[in-house]
Amino acid sequence: MNSKITLISHHLCPYVQRAAILLEEKGIPYERVNIDLSNKPDWFLAISPLGKTPVLLVDSTPIFESAVICEYLEEVYTPRLHPDSPLEKARHRSWIEFGSSILNDIASFYNAADKNALINRSEMIQAKFRQLEQVVEGPFFSGRQFTLVDAVYGPVFRYFDTFDTIDNFGFLTGAFKVDSWRLHLSARPSIINAVSEDYPERLQHFLLQRKSALSEMISKSARVESCLA
């Protein structure tokens, strides 16, 4: 009998999106339950030892940590998204870790308290994209086959669709292959469907609430737009 799969989620969480993308790529039916992370329900804390999303409920067994969830789905369901060769698989896992480090940089970018810190963080991100430029094959990370690495970077690039509406931070300057990779990922149905249609508005609202240098830029541009309207 097939297991009943439930993905305990948050609307904006990029780690949740990894699991959602894999579930769709593998054609696994599942239910998604979004929770409010600023007011975690008791039932969630009971199944999430770290209090974080995502949690994958397989029947009644909770699995936490996105990397573990993705490896579980990869082991149990086809098509395989990791390469067969152990060395190549390890290399892909390394670049997945690199993707998580970019997510940390993105958080320190949108939380930066002042303009100098904001520019410094944007340069850190730009440097990481330049490193990626050396290894991306195109159209996807390692050629024509969509892999787990692609599932990790789809949610990373999604942030830049919003950041690009705020200012030109030059994140992808000199990273042409990464830019083209980003475009291919943004057209992939599993990546599009990993968030709800109101994701951009939700992200904008979240960014405004940071009370950071970026929040200030967003409110300034909203003030200018309302003056021009």
Ligand X SMILES: N[C@@H](CCC(=O)N[C@@H](CS)C(=O)NCC(=O)O)C(=O)O
Q: How far apart are CA 13 and CA 58, in angstroms?
A: 20
Q: CB 86 → ligand X: shortest distance, Å?
A: 23
70 among known catalytic residues: no
**Is there binding between residue 52 and ligand X (CB under 6 A)?**
yes
**Is there binding between residue 185 and ligand X (CB under 6 A)?**
no
Interactions with ligand X, residue window 66-85 (CB under 6 A): 66-67
**Distances 166 to 6, 173, 201, 208, 219 between C-alpha atoms, Å:** 35, 17, 13, 12, 10
Six-digit token string for 196: 């709800």
**Is there binding between residue 13 and ligand X (CB under 6 A)?**
yes
Q: CB 55 → ligand X: shortest distance, Å?
A: 9
**Is there binding between residue 10 and ligand X (CB under 6 A)?**
yes
Report the candidate in 125, 105, 109, 106 with the shortest Cα–Cα distance to residue 117: 109
Place of tokens 């770290």: 50
**Is there binding between residue 37 and ligand X (CB under 6 A)?**
yes
Residue 8: in which H helix or E strand, if any? strand 5-9
**Is there binding between residue 41 and ligand X (CB under 6 A)?**
no
Q: Which residues bind ligand X (CB under 6 A)?
A: 10, 13, 15, 37, 51-54, 65-67
